[in-house]
């Protein structure tokens, strides 16, 4: 049953990253709390943070978040998707949140942005998946189990076991 924990972790991360990526790319879930979204608005935000060229970076970040999240759902290429998403998270912490301190803006003060505490949790979870992989209940895990089974079968055929 140890694979269940990694499934829960992968799915929770996937929900967060697919939602944020789809907001950046397509403006989904737009509203007063998070803004209009879409590539143009994301590029403007990135330019304001000093991230240039802002439009290609907006596309790249949106794709990494959306595709990375979808890969986490099925547990495929986890050891590649998770570190790519971790890099995006570190840049968000550095350029967008660090100046606001550690804590989230729980009072909703309009003159203060969000701190980096939530991103730190995301980063820790992504690093966990980077080091462990998707787990036994993932496409990566099934592929690894199949590879090990084939290798054991070949060894038996050669008389090594």
* 3-class SS letters over 138-159: CHHHHHHHHHHHHHHHHHHHCC
pLDDT digit string, tens, across residues 74-129: 999 999 999 999 999 999 999 999 999 999 988 888 888 899 999 999 999 999 99
Number of Cβ within a 10 Å radius of residue 72: 30
Number of domains observed in the structure of the chain: 1
pLDDT digit string, tens, across residues 45-74: 999 999 999 999 999 999 999 999 999 999
Mean pLDDT (whole number) for 33-47:
86
Task: Give CA angle at 99 (95, 102), nearest 5°.
Answer: 105
Q: Containing domain of residue 69, as a range? A: 3-157
Long-range Cβ contact pairs of 54-58 (< 8 A, separation 24 or more): 58/24
């Amino acid at each position: 049953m140890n694979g269940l924990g990694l499934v829960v972790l992968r799915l929770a991360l996937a929900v967060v990253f697919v939602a944020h990526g789809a907001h950046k790319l397509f403006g989904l879930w737009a509203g007063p709390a998070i803004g209009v979204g879409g590539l143009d608005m994301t590029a403007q935000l990135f330019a304001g943070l000093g991230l240039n060229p802002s439009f290609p970076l907006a596309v790249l970040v949106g794709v990494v978040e959306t595709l990375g999240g979808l890969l986490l759902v099925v547990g495929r290429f986890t050891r590649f998707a998770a570190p790519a998403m971790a890099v995006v998270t570190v840049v968000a912490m550095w350029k967008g949140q660090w100046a606001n301190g550690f804590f989230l803006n729980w009072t909703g003060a309009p003159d203060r942005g969000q701190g980096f505490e939530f991103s730190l949790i995301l980063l820790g979870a992504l690093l966990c998946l980077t080091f462990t992989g998707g787990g036994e209940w993932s496409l990566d895990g099934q592929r690894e189990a199949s590879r090990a089974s084939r290798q054991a079968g070949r060894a038996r055929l050669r008389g090594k076991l």
